[in-house]
């Protein structure tokens, strides 16, 4: 398993993967050292993440290999269908997956998403539009949704 840490506007991101694909991207609350040399197997993921943060990428084309249950993987696949700049509620996501009663299980699987940003769990919100539950911290979720917002707010000052 190869590993790299890169700086992002939201902190240091730790990427892990191998020849089978990218297995995890997590944001760290520590100032772990960033990699001087990125392992070749992770170069494309690093490049695509940098493009995302620069506002030049709206979707990712990476081979993913996260560890999880079949149900978690089904939820993570559904998350990848949420378009850039859009949000869905946990209830709507549950309906999309075919079981409105599975809302808690869907929310739990969403919280276990090991592929920060690439599998966009930040695009799932409460039914009332509130920013609820985000493993990376609500301040990061808010930043990501603002970053993807089609109507950028201009500063008056």
Given this model, what pLDDT does residue 118 score? Answer: 97
Whether 155 is covered by a domain: the verdict is no
pTM summary value: 0.90
Among all chains, which residue has been given the structure tokens 């609350």?
Answer: 29
Whether 63 is covered by a domain: the verdict is no
Q: Are residues 46 and 77 in the same domain?
A: no
Beta-carbon contacts of residue 120 (< 8 Å; ≥ 6 apart) = 79, 80, 82, 84
Q: Measure the CA–CA gap between 1 and 30, rounded to whole angstroms.
A: 21
What are the tens digits of pLDDT across the range 31-81? 667 767 899 999 999 999 999 999 999 999 999 999 999 999 999 999 999
- Annotated catalytic residues are 121
Whether 61 is covered by a domain: the verdict is no
Cα–chain center distance at 119:
4
Q: What is the CATH number of the domain that holds 75?
A: 1.10.10.10
Q: Are residues 49 and 113 in the same domain?
A: no
Q: Are residues 77 and 46 in the same domain?
A: no
Q: Are residues 20 and 80 in the same domain?
A: no
């Amino acid at each position: 398993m190869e590993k790299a840490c890169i700086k992002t506007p939201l902190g240091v991101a730790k990427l892990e993967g191998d020849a089978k694909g990218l297995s995890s991207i997590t944001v760290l609350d520590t100032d772990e050292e960033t990699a001087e040399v990125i392992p070749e197997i992770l170069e494309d993921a690093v490049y695509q993440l940098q493009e995302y943060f620069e506002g030049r990428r709206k979707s990712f084309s990476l081979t993913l290999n996260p560890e999880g249950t079949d149900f978690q993987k089904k939820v993570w696949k559904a998350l990848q269908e949420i378009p850039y700049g859009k949000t869905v509620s946990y209830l709507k996501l549950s309906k999309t997956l075919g079981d409105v009663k599975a809302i808690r299980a869907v929310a739990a699987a969403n919280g276990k998403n090991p592929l920060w940003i690439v599998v966009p769990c930040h695009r799932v919100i409460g039914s009332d539009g509130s920013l609820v539950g985000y493993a990376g911290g609500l301040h990061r979720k808010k930043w990501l949704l603002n970053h993807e917002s089609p109507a950028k707010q201009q500063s008056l000052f």
